[in-house]
């Protein structure tokens, strides 16, 4: 059965913008008859288990419900290893020894999109790889050998979006699966076919949709919703004052989320009755804590 999801990273407590996106993900799923799932994306070493548990509690406090126990990425290493092996067996991976500085300073082909990996390690010989290994003294990352430069996805709010699909990293040099791989593998394993998240992640969607195709999975339906910004037009941060649920309170947070979307309801069930994706704002909500 198809599903939508919310997948926070437990690096910091959820702020009002995260909570608003979670509510919208829940509304999209419920309004389309999908299951709704919660996944804690905790592969990064800058995440904390206790913060993840607080995030789950905050989402429950504002009335969100899910149809299976929350998953934690760190509990599924075999899932990512299997995907890496599948890509490797298909000849779609290669070792990369480049640092960020190497990539920034590398010459680029005239047609290469800005920000794309320049392909420095793509065609190294075995002897050249041994030399690079000795020079760097660190384990290589694994990159996906792509056969396109760009890829187009269809987004419910943004229409057709075309973005870069370079030879992106699928496993970091420290052995941790890269975000672009983990999210694709997890969504496929959980039956997620609807991805609702902040529009700052729209540029990553072409890479993820392309990788899903390479792994034999269907591309999900995307809906990238407008972000919440502070009064200076920047992304919300702790310095912006009362931004977390503990500081705002459940009732006030729900009132603010609803008002930001032009609704009157003050609970998620009431919001579901008013929900119409076509009427969602396309511009960021400027959050004023006072």
Q: What is the DSSP letter of 280?
A: S
Dihedral through CA 117, CA 111, CA 128, CA 140, nearest 10? Answer: 10
Kindly give the residue spans of alpha helices, DSSP state H, lying in the chain: 16-31, 49-61, 77-89, 100-105, 126-136, 179-190, 205-214, 245-248, 250-260, 268-274
Q: Is 100 annotated as a binding residue?
A: no
**Phi, psi torsion values for 70, nearest 5 degrees:** -55, 140
117 marked as binding residue: yes
Q: Is 6 annotated as a binding residue?
A: yes
Residue 48 annotated as part of some ligand binding site: no
Supply φ then ψ for residue 235, to 5 degrees.
-65, 145
Separation of first and last alpha carbons in the chain: 43
Neighbouring-strand partners of residue 38: 6
Three-state DSSP at 68 gives coil
Residue 96 labelled as part of a binding site: yes
Residue 101 annotated as part of some ligand binding site? no
| Residue 161 parent element (H or E) | strand 159-164
Please check if 260 is assigned to a binding site: no
φ, ψ of residue 170 in degrees (nearest 5): -115, -20
- Phi, psi (rounded to 5 degrees) for 38: -120, 130
Q: Is 121 annotated as a binding-site member?
A: yes
Do the annotations mark residue 97 as ligand-binding? no
> Does 68 show up as a binding residue in the annotation?
no
The shares of helix, strand and coil residues in the chain, as percent rounded to the nearest 5, are 40, 20, 40
CA distances from 251 to 17, 19, 27, 84, 261 (A): 15, 13, 18, 45, 16
Q: Provide the annotated binding site for L-glutamate.
A: 5-9, 41, 179, 197
Binding residues: 5-9, 41, 96, 98, 117, 121, 179, 197, 238
Binding-site members for ATP are 238
Annotated binding site for Zn(2+): 96, 98, 117, 121
């Amino acid at each position: 059965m198809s599903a939508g999801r919310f997948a926070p990273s437990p690096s910091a407590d959820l702020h009002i913008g995260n909570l608003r996106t979670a509510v919208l993900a829940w509304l999209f799923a419920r309004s389309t008859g999908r299951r709704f799932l919660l996944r804690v994306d905790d592969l990064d070493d800058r995440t904390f288990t206790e913060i993840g548990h607080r995030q789950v509690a905050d989402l429950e406090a504002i009335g969100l419900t899910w149809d299976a126990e929350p998953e934690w990425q760190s509990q599924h290493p075999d899932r990512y290893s299997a995907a890496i092996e599948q890509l490797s067996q298909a000849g779609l991976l290669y070792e990369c020894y480049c640092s960020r500085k190497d990539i920034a300073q590398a010459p680029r082909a005239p047609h290469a999109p800005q920000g794309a990996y320049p392909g420095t390690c793509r065609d190294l010989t075995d002897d050249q790889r041994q030399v690079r290994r000795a020079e760097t003294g660190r384990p290589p990352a694994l990159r996906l050998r792509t056969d396109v430069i760009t890829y187009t996805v269809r987004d419910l709010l943004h229409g057709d979006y075309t973005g870069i699909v370079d030879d992106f990293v699928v496993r970091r040099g420290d052995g941790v699966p890269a975000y672009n791989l983990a999210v694709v593998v997890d969504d496929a394993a959980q039956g997620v076919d609807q991805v609702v998240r902040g529009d700052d992640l729209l540029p990553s969607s072409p890479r993820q949709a392309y990788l899903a195709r390479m792994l034999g999975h269907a591309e999900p339906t995307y809906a990238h919703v407008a972000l919440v910004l502070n009064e200076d037009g920047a992304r919300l941060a702790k310095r912006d004052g009362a931004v977390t649920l503990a500081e705002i309170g459940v009732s006030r947070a729900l009132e603010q989320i609803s008002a930001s979307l032009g609704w009157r309801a003050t609970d998620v069930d009431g919001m579901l009755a008013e929900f119409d994706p076509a009427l969602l704002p396309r511009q960021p909500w400027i959050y004023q804590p006072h």
